[in-house]
Structure 1
C-alpha cells in the first residue's frame, strides 16, 4: 500500500498540463464528465465537477446548498493564494479499491481510469469512500507530496468521504454522482456533506468578522 501511494504521487508529479480538464470527455461510472478546459482549479471544480452534477440533478435542496457553497465555502477553501498553488496533475479519477491491484512481479498497478488534469488532492477522495486503502497508502503518498495548507482537512470534506465536517466522510463529488446514477440515500449523504461544509464556512466567516 505504501508503494501504491508513492507511485500515485509520482504519477501526479510527472503528468502535467497547463490547464485543468481533458481533451475528451471521460466517464465516472455511467456519468459522462464535463472536461472543458479551465485555467483555474476553483473554476473547474465549481463549474465542471460540482456545478455540472448539481445542474443535472435539478434538485431544489441540492441547488440551494450549491449556492451556499459558492458563497461561504469555496472562496475559503480555494482562496486566490491556494488557487495559485494548485497545478494541473493527471488523475486516475475513479480510484476506488476495485481499480487497483498487484502485478505478477508484486508491483502496484491501477486501471479503469476516468482521467483528467486536476488538483492532486481530489484523487484521494474516493480512496476513502469505499475503503480498501490503508494508512500506509496515505503516508506513502504524502511522503512524496505534502499536504497543501491551509484547509487541507476541510477541502478533503469536499473531495473525500465525510458525512460530518469532523466525522467520517463521504466524498461530495462522488456522492452527487451516485445520487445522479442511483438516487436514494446518496442524495441525503451529499446534502449532509454540503450542509456541514456550509456550517463550517459560515463559522469561518463569523470568526473573520469578529477578528476585524
Structure 2
C-alpha cells in the first residue's frame, strides 16, 4: 500500500516526506488509510481488483455533487485508473469533526438542496457501482423506463444467475416490473441523487458540517433516495424535518417507497445472499398478491 500511496502523492504534487500511514474504517470494499505528509493530511482508498473506471466514477460523482453547491463532499486530489490486477488509489481530503445539535437537520436541508439540482434526463452518462456490483447506466427520457431497464432488470438477471430467484419469487418480480406505472409517478423531475445514501455514507466535519461520501450518482426521482434512507435506519427525525423545510414529501411516496426499496434489497440479495430474500418476498407479496 505504501508504494501505491507514494506514487499517488507524487502524481498530485506532494513530494514531501511521509509522516504517517494508518489504516482506518471504511475498508469494506477498499483498503482505507489516513495519510499524513509534511504538507497535508489525506484519506486514501486503494484496491487492485476493480474495473479501470472504479475510482474515476466515484471522483466524478463527488465533483458533480460539489458543483451543485448544495452539500459538502471531500475534495478529490487524485485517482488512478488501474488496469486489471494492478493496484490503484483515490486520494481525498481528510475530514475530521463531530456532530453538533443541528448537524442532522442541516444534513436533511442540504440533501433537499441536492435534490433541487435538476438534469435534463434520467440515469447517468456512464456505468457506476453499488458497492462492487456493476450498475449499468444510460440516459432515458422516462424515469419508469430507466428504473425498469437500468435498475431492476440488471438485478433480476444477476439474481437469476446466482440462483436467488426461486420460481414464485421470479414470477412475482416479473409481474411487479410489468406494473411499475401503478405505483411510480412518471412526471417527476430528474433530481441529482447521491445514489447510495445510507447512514454510513455521510459524516460530520468541522463545526458539525455535514459531508456526503461514497456516491453512486444518478438523476432520478428523489423519492428513490428517500426510500433508501428509510430502509436500514441511520437517519433521524431531525433529518426528515430539515428535508421537508426545503422540499415537501410528494403524495406518491407512500405507494412508491417499498417499490424503490426493492432495488436496494435485490442488490443486497446479490451481494450477501438469501438472508435478504425474505425482505424481497415481503415487498413482492404486498404489491403483487
Among candidates 180, 191, 198, match of residue 74 of structure 1: 180
C-alpha separation in 2, matches of 1:119 and 1:87: 7
Q: How large is the Cα RMSD of the aligned pairs?
A: 1.5
Task: Please say if residues 12 and 89 of structure 1, whose CA atoms lie closer than 8 Å, have aligned partners that are also in contact.
Answer: yes
Q: Deviations over 1:68-107 (max 9, x none)?
A: 2134x412113xxx312x1111111111111111111321
Among candidates 129, 132, 140, match of residue 30 of structure 1: 132
2:170 equivalent in structure 1:
63
Q: Deviations over 1:16-51 (max 9, x none)?
A: 211111111111111111212111111111121112
User: Normalising by structure 2, what TM-score?
Assistant: 0.60
Task: Please say if residues 96 and 130 of structure 1, whose CA atoms lie closer than 8 Å, have aligned partners that are also in contact.
Answer: yes
Q: Which runs of 5+ in 2 are unaligned?
A: 1-103
Higher strand share: 2
Please state if 1:127 is matched with 2:198: no
C-alpha separation in 1, matches of 2:181 and 2:208: 43
C-alpha separation in 2, matches of 1:191 and 1:51: 17
Per-residue deviation at 1:140?
A: 1.3
C-alpha separation in 1, matches of 2:273 and 2:206: 39
Runs of 4 or more consecutive aligned structure 1 residues displaced over 6 Å after TM superposition:
none
Larger radius of gyration: 2
1:89 equivalent in structure 2:
191
Among candidates 247, 250, 266, match of residue 176 of structure 1: 266
What secondary structure does 1:83 align onto?
coil
Higher helix share: 1
Q: How many residues align?
A: 181
Structure possessing the higher relative contact order (Cα contacts under 8 Å, 6 or more residues apart): 1
